[in-house]
């Protein structure tokens, strides 16, 4: 079911800036926009967690960061350490990337352990698992989602935005079918307008990762005028 108000749409959005050239001033603008438009969170690279925390203090906007990003090929220990540092410095949510090589090799036990190390390091903070669907078959996508559930993660997520493709409604529907109604599904990668956002929600997404959140909300507001 689609949201009924602009504010409800905004609460779906993780307002995202993960490009490697992002500057402190751009992060400031990101946080200011998130406050202004009422987005659920900002999503930034780990180096900007302390700055973002200072800008969002006492605001109703969560702080999300990424771990093992964008390739997922660091060790479970490194991912856990990165997670613990981010949480210590104010992160509310962790978006981690799975080890895609292990997934392609069918070593699902290693994939699950990798995810669980991050879940444990995050303590009570919410963990989203980036599957990076563009590199996986449907069977592998489903297996990665099941590993995420079994490892105690709270969300599965389609993409980093740095792979060969972003979110698709087909993948979102598959992920929702696999994880069931109680685990979140985040659609991310290539969501740049209202029509695409609505399609992702109708397919089963409960969160939207987008760098175009402001444009989407402005488009929605204009459509209601």
Q: Do 174 and 167 contact (CB within 8 A), yes or no?
A: no
- Exposed, middle or buried by CB within 10 Å (0-12, 13-18, 19+), for 49? buried
Is residue 128 flagged as an active site residue?
Answer: no
Which residue is catalytic, options 14, 95, 114, 171? 95
Which residue is catalytic, options 79, 125, 141, 157? 157
Q: At what angle do helices 194-203 and 213-224 cross, to 10 degrees?
A: 100
CA-to-CA distance for 35 and 182, rounded, in angstroms?
Answer: 28
SS3 143: helix
Q: Do 52 and 90 contact (CB within 8 A), yes or no?
A: yes
Q: Do 188 and 208 contact (CB within 8 A), yes or no?
A: yes
Residue 208 is inside which H or E element, if any? strand 207-210
Which residue is catalytic, options 79, 128, 141, 186? 186
Is residue 92 flagged as an active site residue?
Answer: no
Is residue 186 flagged as an active site residue?
Answer: yes
Q: Do 81 and 109 contact (CB within 8 A), yes or no?
A: no
Residue whose pair of structure tokens reads 């598959």 in the numeric block: 174
List active site positions: 95, 157, 186
């Amino acid at each position: 079911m689609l949201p009924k108000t602009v504010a409800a749409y905004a609460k779906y959005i993780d307002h995202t800036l993960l490009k490697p050239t992002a500057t402190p001033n751009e992060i400031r603008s990101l946080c200011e926009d998130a406050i202004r438009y009422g987005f659920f969170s900002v999503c930034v690279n780990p180096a900007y967690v302390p700055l973002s925390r200072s800008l969002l203090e006492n605001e109703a906007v969560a702080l999300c960061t990424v771990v093992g990003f964008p390739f997922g090929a660091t060790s479970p220990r490194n991912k856990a350490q990165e997670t613990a540092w981010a949480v210590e410095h104010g992160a509310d949510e962790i978006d981690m990337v799975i080890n895609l090589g292990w997934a392609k090799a069918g070593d699902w036990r290693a994939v699950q352990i990798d995810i669980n190390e991050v879940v444990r390091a995050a303590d009570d903070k919410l963990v989203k698992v980036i599957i990076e669907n563009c590199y996986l078959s449907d069977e592998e996508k489903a297996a990665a989602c099941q590993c995420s559930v079994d490892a105690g993660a709270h969300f599965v997520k389609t993409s980093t935005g740095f792979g060969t493709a972003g979110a698709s409604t087909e993948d979102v529907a598959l992920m929702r079918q696999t994880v069931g109604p109680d685990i979140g599904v985040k659609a991310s990668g290539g969501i740049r307008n209202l029509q695409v956002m609505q399609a992702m929600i109708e397919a089963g997404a409960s969160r939207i990762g987008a760098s175009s959140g402001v444009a989407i909300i402005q488009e929605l507001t204009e459509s209601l005028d």
